[in-house]
Every structure is written in C-alpha cells, then in structure tokens.
C-alpha cells in the first residue's frame, strides 16, 4: 500500500520527550510528523502528571501556609474549598500549556497526526485515528510512547472508588478516608494534596521507608510531619486484598505491624509505572523490547535498529520529564545527522511534597554500597535566619564529597523549595565542582540557597559552629 504521508523524522508520542524531539528535529530542518493518540499534546507530564499535580500541590501549600499563619498573628480561619474552581485552576494551567504546544508545533510546521500508532515495517507506522487508518513512511523514527500506571492485579479496578494517579488528579471529591498504596513520590504528592483538602490519609509502603531510593535522613522531616497528620503510615506492609462494599473499599494488610482490615472511601494505588514499549508492535520494525516493555538504547538514543531511536520513560529509569526532554533533543540531533550524545552525569529527583525533598547524584546509601570514601557537609536549616523567619526550620542541606578529590558527588535538600535549590548542585556535579568552589561562591543573603555554600564550608571545616 502507498503511504498516506511521508516524512524524514517520525516521532511516536507527544510527551515531554516526544514534543521536544519533534520540535528540535523540525528546527534542524527535518520534515517531521508527530503521532499522538490523544487530542492534546504534552503526554503524561502535561496532561495527567507533573503539571496538574503541581497545580494542586500549590493549592495544598496555600492551605497549609494559611493554617500556620495564625502562629504569626494572621488568622485566615478555616479554608472554604470550592472544588470546581480548584479543578478549574488545574485545567486552566494544563490547557494553557497544551495550547502553547500546539502553537509551537504549527509554527515549526510539524505535522501532528492524531491516532494510535503501531509499526508495520522498519520504515512504516500505521496510525489508527478517528478518520481511519493512515500509513506514515519515515526515514528515521523516535519512539517516545512513555509509560502508564501499574494496575496491581486482583483489585476491584472497575469500582470508581479505586484510583490511579490520573483518577486522583481528577479530584472528583475529597474522600473522608483515603488509603494511598505506595509511599513513593507520586503517592506522597497526591497524599499531600488530599491531606490539605481535608482527607484522613493512610499510606502503606512495602519497603522500610517512604520514598525508597532517597537517603533515610532526607525523608525523616517529611515523615515526622506526616505522622502527626495522617491516619497512619505503615512501612514494610503489603495490601493483600481490596474488597468493594456498600460502605467503601475494605483493604486487608500483611506484614509486621500491619493494621487490621480497614474501610476507606477511596483507594489510590501508586506503585510505579510500566513502559509502553511492548504495545507498539516494535518487533515489526525489528526493535528489541525487554520483557518488561523497556527499549534498550545507546548514548545516542539509538535502538538496535540504527535509524530508530527511543527516549523517555520507555528507555528506563529514572522516569522523569527532564530526562525525557534532554534525551529527546539528543535523538533529534542524531537523527538530523549531528554527533550528539546523552551524557548527563546526574539527573535530579524531586518530591514536591511539603516539605519538598530533592536529591541529585549519589545518595549516601549508594556511596556506601559502592565503597566510595566520602565525607558529608550538612547544614541544618534551623541555623538559617531565613528558614526561621518563614517558620520552616525542619530541613537541611547535605552535600556528599569524594574524600580523595573533595569533588561533589551527591546532594540532598529538604526544604519548602528544595526542588529549586537542587539545580545548583546538579550544575556543580556536572562542572566537577569541589567543596571550595561551592563554599567560595557568594550566595545571596538571606536565602535558603546560602545553606548550599555553608554546607560546603562545614565540610571544609571553615565553619565549625553553626551560631
């Protein structure tokens, strides 16, 4: 069959990886087609991930700040929550950005084809859309089909009270009792939102700490705050069953210290995401996909088929938007004949909880495991006048240095704006900064960013008392 469309670069999926790749390819003069199954561009991140969750977390932060304002003589009283308006704020935020993406695609003459794509040969993708099937013939392809929430089997998923992160972001109501299964970043961010809106939240996590992967000391201030507010935080506990009944969803638990069965108004399951690599007939193009649905790539984002690239969540961890965008750029540049590589030394992780937890590079746990001789510079925020002034002294800034070179190898920050503060440390690691470079950099006063320089000075021994 003759193709309906021909292009130099085809991008499958319009998430942060896909749209970045498509825009870069077009900017480099490539005739580009972007295939997306949904009507709005932006993928998980923009439509049902990073952006709507942060819009709601902003509301949670405002509620919390207002509640604590009474401590400094500003009593705003109990919040009156208009869920429709709040949902509207989230939708407006997303809508504005989706519109922006469509405009940017148009401006670059990227052809957007709406429909579900599957490979039919190494140079052809079939797209099934509202107006039938189309064959797009491409010279190069970039697979950016992303990931989706893991739905644990055996749970009553057809019950509307069961939620994955997408359902939780819909904010249908504020359940009186909410169980969050999975104490990772996504579960805890949504827990923060519902807690602020008034739900009694219980969190169950299989591992021995919340946010597995982060150093335990970073998680502690958050856990301390949550344990005062939540119905319960149960670690090393597994949900073995969920039963749907007239009065709610009854969950049963297993593990040391597991609670007795409890009934909840809603249950959010946030136990990870699985890549979509296995759902696009990649084999028809000869592209290798692992059993779990990941697509292996090299540093140029090439799959085993040299003219087909893959990026974003479906090439592996960490499943983060800022990793996808950088990979997308590399794939587009290589597809256009440039000699780019994805060689990021580090990719920062941020939980936009309250407080935020951010880390980059090696964790202390990883350094220990790898047998690296390391030293720590830690600055507690209780010693920061700014932190005292805003009533947020629970956090700290922790820098991990290689003892042999004094180079920064990792960092972690717990603070209300840790996600913004961690960027400097990602740059420091990329640039091979030593403790002295960081300590001698003049940071603005009074900010929490000073804690970065001060933590380096603590490591160097040029500050010994934290006044």
In whole angstroms, what is the distance from residue 430 CA to residue 427 CA?
Answer: 5
The answer to the question of residue 117 lying near ligand FAD (CB under 6 A) is: yes
Which residue, 287 or 458, is less far from ligand FAD as judged by CB?
Answer: 287
How many other C-beta atoms are found inside a 10 Å radius of the C-beta of residue 374?
A: 18
Q: How far is CA 352 from CA 270, 284, 431, in A?
A: 15, 40, 26
Name which position in 276, 353, 363, 397 contacts ligand FAD (CB under 6 A): 276
Reported for 229-233, long-range contacts at CB under 8 A and 24+ positions apart, including other chains, are: 229/195, 229/201, 230/191, 230/195, 230/200, 230/201, 230/202, 230/203, 231/177, 231/200, 231/201, 231/202, 232/202, 232/203, 232/259, 233/183, 233/202, 233/203, 233/205
| Helix ranges (DSSP H) in 198-287 | 216-229
Which residue, 377 or 412, is less far from ligand FAD as judged by CB?
Answer: 412
Least Å distance between CB 160 and ligand FAD? 19
Which residue, 185 or 435, is less far from ligand FAD as judged by CB?
Answer: 185
Name which position in 7, 10, 43, 196 contacts ligand FAD (CB under 6 A): 43
Tokens of residue 381, six digits: 């925020």
What length does the chain have?
467
The answer to the question of residue 238 lying near ligand FAD (CB under 6 A) is: no
* Catalytic member of 58, 307, 322, 445: 445
Q: Is 443 a catalytic residue?
A: no
Question: Can you list the positions of beta strands (E) in 289-429?
Answer: 308-310, 349-351, 356-361, 374-380, 396-402, 408-415
The answer to the question of residue 44 lying near ligand FAD (CB under 6 A) is: yes
Q: What share of the chain is helix, strand, coil (3-state, %, to 5)?
A: 35, 25, 35
Tokens of residue 350, six digits: 């941020």
Least Å distance between CB 95 and ligand FAD? 16
Which residue, 196 or 435, is less far from ligand FAD as judged by CB?
Answer: 196
380 forms bridges with which residues in the sheet? Answer: 396
Looking at residue 302, the DSSP 8-state letter turns out to be B
The answer to the question of residue 57 lying near ligand FAD (CB under 6 A) is: no
- The window from 46-54, 174-182, 207-215, 375-383 that contacts ligand FAD (CB under 6 A) reads 46-54
The answer to the question of residue 422 lying near ligand FAD (CB under 6 A) is: no
Find the binding residues for ligand FAD in span 319-338 (CB under 6 A): 319-322, 324
Name which position in 9, 26, 94, 144 contacts ligand FAD (CB under 6 A): 144
Q: Single out the residue of 299, 282, 239, 284 nearest to residue 264, CA to CA.
A: 239
Least Å distance between CB 133 and ligand FAD? 13
The answer to the question of residue 303 lying near ligand FAD (CB under 6 A) is: no
- The window from 42-50, 59-67, 103-111, 392-400 that contacts ligand FAD (CB under 6 A) reads 42-50
Q: How far is CA 162 from CA 47, 68, 129, 431, in A?
A: 20, 32, 29, 46
In whole angstroms, what is the distance from residue 345 CA to residue 343 CA?
Answer: 6
- The window from 16-24, 60-68, 72-80, 393-401 that contacts ligand FAD (CB under 6 A) reads 16-24
Find the binding residues for ligand FAD in span 151-190 (CB under 6 A): 165, 186
Residues that bind ligand FAD (CB under 6 A): 12-18, 35-38, 43-45, 49-50, 53, 116-117, 144-147, 165, 186, 276, 280, 312-313, 319-322, 324, 352
Active site residues: 445
């Amino acid at each position: 069959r003759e193709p309906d469309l021909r292009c130099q670069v085809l991008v499958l999926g319009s998430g942060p990886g896909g749209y970045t790749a498509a825009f870069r390819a077009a900017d480099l003069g490539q005739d580009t087609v972007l295939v997306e199954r949904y009507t709005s561009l932006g993928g998980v991140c923009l439509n049902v991930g990073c952006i709507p969750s942060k819009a709601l977390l902003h509301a949670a932060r405002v509620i919390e700040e207002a509640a604590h304002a009474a401590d400094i003589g500003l009593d705003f009283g109990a919040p009156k929550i208009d869920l429709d308006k709040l949902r509207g704020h989230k939708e407006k935020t997303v809508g504005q950005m989706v519109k922006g993406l469509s405009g940017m695609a148009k401006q670059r003459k990227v052809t957007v084809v709406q429909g579900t794509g599957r490979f039919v040969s190494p140079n052809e993708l079939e797209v099934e859309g509202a107006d039938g099937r189309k064959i797009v013939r491409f010279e190069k392809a970039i697979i950016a089909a992303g990931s989706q929430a893991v739905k644990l089997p055996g749970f009553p998923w057809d019950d509307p009270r069961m939620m994955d992160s997408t359902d939780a972001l819909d904010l249908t109501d504020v359940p009186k009792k909410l169980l969050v299964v999975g104490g990772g970043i996504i579960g805890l961010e949504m827990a923060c939102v519902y807690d602020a809106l008034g739900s009694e939240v219980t969190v169950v996590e299989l591992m021995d700490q919340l946010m597995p992967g982060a150093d335990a000391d970073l998680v502690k201030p958050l856990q301390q705050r949550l344990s005062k507010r939540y119905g319960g935080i149960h670690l090393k506990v597994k949900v073995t069953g969920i039963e749907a009944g007239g009065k709610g969803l009854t969950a049963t638990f297993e593990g040391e210290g597991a609670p007795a069965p409890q009934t909840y108004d809603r249950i959010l399951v946030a136990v990870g995401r699985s890549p979509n690599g296995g759902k696009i007939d990649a084999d028809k193009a000869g592209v290798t996909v692992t059993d779990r649905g990941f697509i292996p790539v090299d540093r140029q984002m090439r799959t085993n088929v040299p003219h087909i690239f893959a990026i974003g969540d479906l090439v592996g961890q960490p499943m983060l938007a800022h990793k996808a965008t950088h990979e997308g750029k590399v794939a587009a540049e290589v597809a256009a004949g440039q000699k780019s590589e994805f060689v990021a030394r580090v990719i920062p992780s941020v939980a936009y909880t309250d407080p935020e937890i951010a880390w980059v590079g090696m964790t202390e746990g990883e350094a220990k495991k790898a047998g690296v001789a390391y030293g720590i510079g830690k600055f507690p925020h209780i010693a920061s006048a700014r932190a005292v002034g805003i009533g947020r002294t629970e956090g700290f800034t922790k820098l991990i240095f290689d003892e042999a070179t004094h180079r920064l190898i990792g960092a972690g920050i717990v603070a209300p704006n840790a996600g913004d503060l961690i960027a400097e440390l990602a740059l420091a690691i990329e640039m091979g900064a030593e403790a002295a470079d960081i300590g001698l950099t003049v940071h603005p006063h009074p900010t929490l960013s000073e804690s970065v320089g001060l933590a380096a000075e603590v490591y160097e021994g040029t500050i010994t008392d934290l006044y």
